[in-house]
Structure 1
Amino acid sequence: MESKRQQKYSKLIQKELGEIFQKEGRPIVDKAMVTVTRVLMSPDLGLAKINLSFLLADPAELIDKVDDNKSQIRKFLGRRIGKSVRVIPELAFFLDESAAYAQHMDAVISKLDIPEAPEEDEDDDENI
């Protein structure tokens, strides 16, 4: 479980990275819409694990492009939060596949052949 301090840094970095991808990071992601879905901080606040979700682009290609430019993204982050944190964390980007997993699970559940539950008689309840 994350400490309050880790949670505070996670929220700060999630907010700032979202703005970076909208403004300064536009040349990196082109026309794709990037959502920072989750940020997990290490206990020493030196590493941020960032889950990204993409729209209007190939996710595998874009995550590689973002990963190749993580030093530039870290520099943008340092300019934004450098006055309020001691150390700018190293960034590790991961593809967030929760939406795809949810669609997969929805498809699996809809294919299940679940019979209707029989209706219970009210007379059986009175005899107990």
Structure 2
Amino acid sequence: LSIAKAYLSVFPSGKAQEVIDNINKSQKTVRYELAQRVRHQLRKTPELAFYLDDSLDYIEKIDSLLDSTTAEGAEKELPEAD
């Protein structure tokens, strides 16, 4: 319990790395604020590590690939009108 990993989703995803870098720079302040809130529940406040959660981007990519393959399959099944 000495290290806590936090995965953050950032919108818009174009500036995600910049936001994560800023949060990592202010890590000590975030840890202090967390310690003030949980000081009666935890003996020691964990070190914090922030990471980018890109699972939503991954899901969107899979959905778009599935949609494109479905559209291609539908085009092949349509009879040609000549």
Q: TM-score range by the shorter chain?
A: 0.7 to 0.9
The alignment yields a C-alpha RMSD, in angstroms, of: 1.6
For 1:110, the equivalent position in structure 2 comes to 67
Structure richer in helix, relative to its length? 2
Segments of 4+ moved more than 6 angstroms? none
The correspondence for 1:100, drawn from 37, 48, 57, is 57
CA positional deviation for 1:111: 1.4
For 1:67, the equivalent position in structure 2 comes to 24
Could you list the runs of 5+ residues in structure 2 that have no partner in the other structure?
A: 75-82
For 1:49, the equivalent position in structure 2 comes to 5
Aligned partner of residue 54 in structure 1, secondary structure: coil
For 2:32 and 2:11, the matched residues in 1 are separated by 24
Letter in 2 for 1:80: R
**Seq. identity, %:** 31
Structure richer in strand, relative to its length? 1
- TM-score, L = length of structure 1: 0.51
Letter in 2 for 1:95: L
Letter in 1 for 2:67: S
For 1:70 and 1:54, the matched residues in 2 are separated by 17
For 1:17, the equivalent position in structure 2 comes to none
For 1:70 and 1:108, the matched residues in 2 are separated by 37
Aligned partner of residue 87 in structure 1, secondary structure: coil
For 2:12 and 2:68, the matched residues in 1 are separated by 29
For 2:19 and 2:25, the matched residues in 1 are separated by 10
- TM-score, L = length of structure 2: 0.78
CA positional deviation for 1:56: 5.2
CA positional deviation for 1:60: 1.1
Q: Structure 1 residue 85 and structure 2 residue 42: aligned?
A: yes
For 1:104 and 1:54, the matched residues in 2 are separated by 16
Could you list the runs of 5+ residues in structure 1 that have no partner in the other structure?
A: 1-44, 116-128
For 1:108 and 1:64, the matched residues in 2 are separated by 31
CA positional deviation for 1:55: 2.7
